[in-house]
Amino acid sequence: MAIRINDNNFYLETENTAYQIQVDRYDVLQHIWYGEKTNQNMDYLLDYHDTGFSGCIYDAGNERSYSVDTLPQEYPASGNGDFRIGALSVRHADGSRALDLRYKSSRVLEGKYAIPGLPAVYDENGNAETLEIVMCDKVSGIEVVLQYAVIPDCDVITRCAVIKNNGTKPAELLNAGSLCLDIPNGEWEWIHFHGRHTLERCAERKPLLHGIQTSSSSRGTSSHQQNPSVILCSPECTETSGKCVGAALVYSGGFETNIEVDQLNQTRLIMGIDTNTFCWRLAPGEVFYTPEAILSYSSGGLEKLSHNFHHIIRNNICRGKFKASKRPVLINNWEATYFDFDENSLFNIAEKAAQLGVELFVMDDGWFGNRNSDCSGLGDWSVNTEKLKNGLVGLTSKIKQLGMDFGIWMEPEMVSEDSNLYRTHPDWAIKIPNRDPIRSRYQLVLDMSRKDVVDYLFDAISKILSSADISYIKWDMNRSITNWYSAELSHERQGEAAHRYVLGLYDLLERITSAFPDILIEGCSGGGGRFDAGMLYYCPQIWCSDNTDAYDRTKIQYGTSFFYPVSAVGSHVSVVPNHQTGRITPIESRAVTAMAGSFGYELDLNQIDDKEKHAVRNQIERYKQYQKLIYNGTYYRLSNPFEDNYALWEFVSEDKSEVLVHGMIFRTDSNANRSCIQLRGLDRNKYYNMDGKIYGGAALEDGGILLPQPAGDYYPIELYIREN
């Protein structure tokens, strides 16, 4: 059994880890342990003294050594004597905020819990178990059901909270965390993933300081600036050794990760919805579900932790026919034409692409409404027949005759002020009455919390998808959201708008994916502005970044790889000089970098010379050969591109018979020795063949292999190795 209950002790065990909870003598739910299996109750490590200025609960009497301000807890609430950051904060009808949660009951269920209206890990194999622990505040009637699911073979535990108002008066949730993890002992560092548009998920590792460290987004999306994922690791932790804990929120809206090191050097991690844009009115009898958090522990370094998350996201978050299948090599016309195209120019791009082996043509922004720039047309999802004289059917038919599939770009959540939709329904846009709206990219945001907006979008999108043979959607979202207000919500419920927006988005995506299961949806938000596990539940791949520069992409994809599998990454070869950086890199370097994901091209293949056309044809053939290994193989980071002169990564097949090393040497130095790199994940007892030379697995891991001598900067690396 993965979950056991014994004398008010709860034991949750995966293949390699143990998580322990205890109901203490005052019915406070304490966190005891999260780490390797020990086959012992670890509560002997908790020994607390009388700490000054730490309050004691009333029923502890004169036991001054007992304080919730010092004890490790499972789900601490604010206003009850714990002065550290809390997981739950409630404002009661009388204005008070105290909440005293005590243990009430528990049960173990077969299978994995689900969360109404929210994406969550699922278990098709029946291996998961669920633990429910009920806590309640006797005075207010607020009840919290903590849900834990154990996925044993993945070394993963998931968590969420169900908050019920069993009282007679309304209450306001000011903070509703999905996860609290208290770590009583040890020194820890944290890794978070910061960035900006065109430079997302830069991994930054820093020692924890006393006080509170925060990684968050109040932008209405998980954002380019921070990612809803975090790692705590011991100072000596490396890729291959040391302790580390990772947490990822399955949520696509504003989020908040707070880490506090307290007065006793204990570490507390809280993760959940962004509190700056959240206030939820909970009437008597109503229930609120927090998003899910995925938790994993590794004693074998960051590499093992990443493998755990890759496995659970690829197999238990992503859904549908495309989650494990090969994806088509595509070409997108955006950087080739921007808004300036017609049916003939698109067909010319597609015709050359088909000759070179491309399988999917994607028509980007500008095909609908009065859309000749980014100042108009969003919301009017009807074909612009001045550009496409024969409509979608005509262009699609011509593309299909080339042997290619056809896809389109859409930005359903947005509206232009210069659009028929906005002129008809100005109240559908997010804006505060009597205030000018905040624009970004000249556009406003539709109020996805409204059912009529979601219904309109479902009908409009369905009409488009049913009108022609469309097999792919690039689902974009090109701005952050501010000035939250919904004309549908009463004044006391305006704090719910941001979360209701996300629920509306998920509802629309669920309806679209259910109605059109054979259409592949790629998520996008100006590239990687909404790259999270919540979106991957509906879109098995996400455009990693609008920055297609191969050098920058090695860094962006490095940071992405700590939590997200390669199969989730959209990555393309683009023209040089690169449109984002002006950098010139070899076409082979661009290709090997883009192969670490769903491969494609972002240029007009008619504009390249014959040598590059030959290279493109060869790249596509190689990618098709490698794709199964890239998608399903185990991924290894062989370097840190923020510190090393090269970026290298490795894929190893499940049976360890195939190995692929890709990457780039950034700078060529005169008269330098060849670099040597140690491979990982091989069978040390096997022998491997690379270009006719035989190497032992142990030799490749311990001694390594010499990289080619680079000839010029941004030199591409591709090493394909097979079992001999």
Distance of alpha carbon 291 from its chain centroid, rounded?
A: 13
* Cα distance between residue 240 and residue 301, in whole Å: 5
Query: Which among 329, 232, 229 has a CA at the least distance from the CA of 271?
Result: 229
Strand ranges inside 437-591, DSSP E = 444-445, 472-475, 520-523, 541-543, 569-574
* Cα distance between residue 244 and residue 686, in whole Å: 31
Q: Which two tokens stand for residue 368?
A: 């609908």
SS3 content of the chain, % helix, strand, coil (to 5): 25, 35, 45
Q: Environment class of residue 463 by beta-carbon count within 10 Å: exposed (0-12), middle (13-18) or buried (19+)? A: exposed
DSSP string across 84-120: S--SEEEE-TTS------EEEEEEEEES----TTS--
Residue linked to tokens 């079992």 = 723
Q: Which two tokens stand for residue 425?
A: 């329904």
* Cα distance between residue 445 and residue 431, in whole Å: 9
Q: Number of helices (H) and strands (E) in the chain: give both, helices first.
A: 12, 38
Distance of alpha carbon 264 from its chain centroid, rounded?
A: 33
* Cα distance between residue 292 and residue 160, in whole Å: 5
φ/ψ of 506, rounded to 5, equals: -60, -40
Query: Which among 117, 116, 114 has a CA at the least distance from the CA of 506?
Result: 117
DSSP string across 127-147: --EEEEEEEE-TTT-EEEEEE
* Cα distance between residue 476 and residue 505, in whole Å: 12
Active-site annotation, residues: 532, 612
606 three-state secondary structure: helix
556 three-state secondary structure: helix
DSSP string across 415-469: E-SBSHHHHH-GGGB---TTSPPPPBTTBEEB-TTSHHHHHHHHHHHHHHHHHTT
Query: Which among 231, 226, 268 has a CA at the least distance from the CA of 246?
Result: 231
| 141 φ/ψ sector (left φ>0, alpha ψ -120 to 50, else beta) | left
